[in-house]
Amino acid sequence: MLLIIIALLVNLFIETSASFSVVVPPDPVVAHVGSTVILPCRISPPENAEALEIRWYRQDQFSNPVLLYNHGKIQDTQDESYRNRTSLTPQSDQSGGLQDGDVSLRLEKLRVQDEDSFHCYVSGESSYSSEKVVLKITALGSTPVLVPQPLDDGRINISCRSSGWHPEPSITWTSDDGKVLHPGGSSHSRGEDRMFSIHSWMAVSQSDTQLVTCSLSIITGELKESRIDVQAIISSDLWKALFLIFLAFALLGLVGLILYKYREKLTGKKPADVAKEIAELRKHAVEITIDSENSHPDLKVSKDGKTMRDSPDYHHTGDGFPYELFAFGAQRFTSGRHYWEVELGRENTAPKHYWLIGVVKHGTFRLKDRSAFTPSSGYWFLCSDGPNGFHINTDPPVKLPLTPRPEQLGVLLDYDDGLLSFYNIKERKHLLTISSRFSGSVVPLFNPGVGDKSPLRILDCPKPAESAAEPSQHLMSNNSSEA
């Protein structure tokens, strides 16, 4: 009985005073990590909100609000994680703000953790209303890094990796004619920062397609993609087989030479391809020297800036590769193709077991955290870590079996196409290509590791001759002096 009377009284009271409701957009509001967003909310019919209580809070957090406005000002009562990031702001220039009943919330420096439902609660003396706005946070990850690895059956296994996504992106592989290809496998993981990392791979053969594109996209339609030329990789893998032909002919001497010339006529392109490939690489040869001022103090760098090794006084503490022993090239590249060769072993000594060779974005030197040496932070390299084998610094790193151990490594930086390729010069073999995207200026990166007998030495590349025939001559004479 008493309850009914109270209910009646309350009803009467509400009906006799002005009542309002709050209006919010029906669709989620989508915003990028790090950006500023306005969560719209207004009183309808419009009414001056200055004397009302305005409370923005997350689900089940009524008493720990994101923002509380009361008694004409913003109160201190606030969820700590929103301090200094919130304000009441008009949702547009046309809006009259609080006086016009616009109680929209401005939220700055968005984090993934801000993805939630936000309640817009407005309470007056006799009436209150509440509605929720859904906020979705997106983060566009890194440009995918593509790594091709040859398979025994002649196909190549291309892996595509990228990190820093939110929400989980969808992966699409396409061929050059836009046909969708089906990946061999895909997986994702989520870091402590709640961002998604993606790894997908597929095996392709030469007859499948020329170009393969891996693209990652999120709900907003934004995407990042990388492309790789399958034909170029497969054909450079022919190197080794073709070189065997050269070797045989070199042993046969003059007869070989004649045969070779004859063969060149017969088969037309192939032997010339090899010569072309080498000539092509060395055509882009640049002289690299070490910027000794910026290199690690425990490195010994020769006067000519070409040879480096760990100082005998240096003792590596901690385990794992001594990443701190970085040396940087004095040359910077912002476009074009550049090629250099590095020697990793001297005659009569075993090839080095510890080294790291690649490129780094200028200005990103000296990161403390070793897990930070990733393409998205401006590092691209191949590393030989002794008994732990070889890896490239994709995120996470990819381990590679490389046999025999390279004694002489060729590095081709193709800035415009975003490719970094490694060649085993002695074996005449393309090892791998990292496909990425470079920005700013990029400098050569070296690290001689610790404890090897041999130093790491930047070679002076033999200049290729002008005509197509001469480089192959050069190749043969190189080879016969070795035999």
Ligand X SMILES: *[C@@H]1O[C@H](CO)[C@@H](O)[C@H](O)[C@H]1NC(C)=O
Q: Which CB sits closer to ligand X, 356 or 398?
A: 398
- C-alpha span between 447 and 328 (Å, rounded): 9
Q: Which is nearer to ligand X, 148 or 351 (CB)?
A: 148
Q: If binding is defined by CB under 6 A, does position 84 make contact with ligand X? A: yes
Contact (CB, 8 A) for 395 and 163: yes
Nearer Cβ to ligand X, position 203 or 238? 203
For ligand X, give the closer residue by CB, 190 or 399: 399
Point out the residue whose Cβ comes nearest to ligand X: 159
Q: Which is nearer to ligand X, 84 or 348 (CB)?
A: 84
Out of 64, 95, 123, 157, point to the residue binding ligand X (CB under 6 A): 157
| Position 435 contacts ligand X (CB under 6 A) | no
Closer to ligand X at the Cβ: 149 or 235?
149
- State which amino acid sits at residue 111: R
Least distance (Å) between residue 416 CB and ligand X? 26
Smallest separation (angstroms) from ligand X to the CB of 200: 9
Rounded to a whole number of angstroms, the minimum distance from the CB of residue 69 to ligand X is 18
For the segment 277-316, give every residue that binds ligand X (CB under 6 A). Answer: none
Whose tokens are 């909310």? That residue is 41
CB of 231 to ligand X, least distance (A): 19
Q: Per rule CB under 6 A, is residue 159 in the interface with ligand X? A: yes
Closest CA to 285 of 212, 348, 217, 338: 338
Least Å distance, CB 72 to ligand X, is 22
For 358, other C-beta atoms within 10 Å of its C-beta total 23
- Is residue 400 within the footprint of ligand X (CB under 6 A)? no
Return the number of the residue (201 or 243) whose C-beta is nearest ligand X. Answer: 201
CB 186 to ligand X: min, Å: 10
* Minimum CB–partner distance for residue 64 and ligand X (Å): 15
Distance CA 103, CA 43 (A): 7
Closest to ligand X by CB, 100 vs 225, is: 225
Judged by CB under 6 A, the chain residues 360 through 399 that form the site for ligand X are 398
Indicate which single residue of 10, 18, 51, 151 sits in contact with ligand X (rule: CB under 6 A).
151
Looking at the Cβ atoms of 394 and 454, the one nearer to ligand X is 394
C-beta of 250 vs 434, nearer to ligand X: 434
Number of residues that bind ligand X (CB under 6 A): 9
What is the signed CA dihedral for 355, 360, 366, 370, rounded to 10 degrees?
-60
Spatial neighbors of 265 by CB under 8 A, at least 6 apart, are none
Stretch of residues binding ligand X (CB under 6 A), selected from 1-9, 111-119, 151-159, 285-293? 151-159
- Shortest Å, Cβ 160 to ligand X: 9
Question: Min. distance of Cβ 55 from ligand X in angstroms?
Answer: 20
By CB under 6 A, is residue 415 in contact with ligand X? no
- List the one residue from 71, 73, 83, 303 that touches ligand X (CB under 6 A): 83
Q: How far is the CB of 234 from ligand X (least distance, A)?
A: 16
* Shortest distance, position 67 Cβ to ligand X, whole Å: 14
Burial of 152 (0-12, 13-18, 19+ CB in 10 A): exposed
Amino acid occupying residue 247: L
Q: Which is nearer to ligand X, 20 or 82 (CB)?
A: 82
Given the complex with ligand X, which of 43 and 202 has the nearer CB atom?
202
The CB-of-376 to ligand X minimum distance in angstroms stands at 18
- Residue 49 and residue 51: Cα distance in Å, rounded? 6
Binders in 160-219 for ligand X, by CB under 6 A = 184, 201, 203
Q: 360: alpha, beta or left, given left = phi > 0 and alpha = psi -120 to 50?
A: beta
Residue ranges binding ligand X (CB under 6 A): 83-84, 151, 157, 159, 184, 201, 203, 398
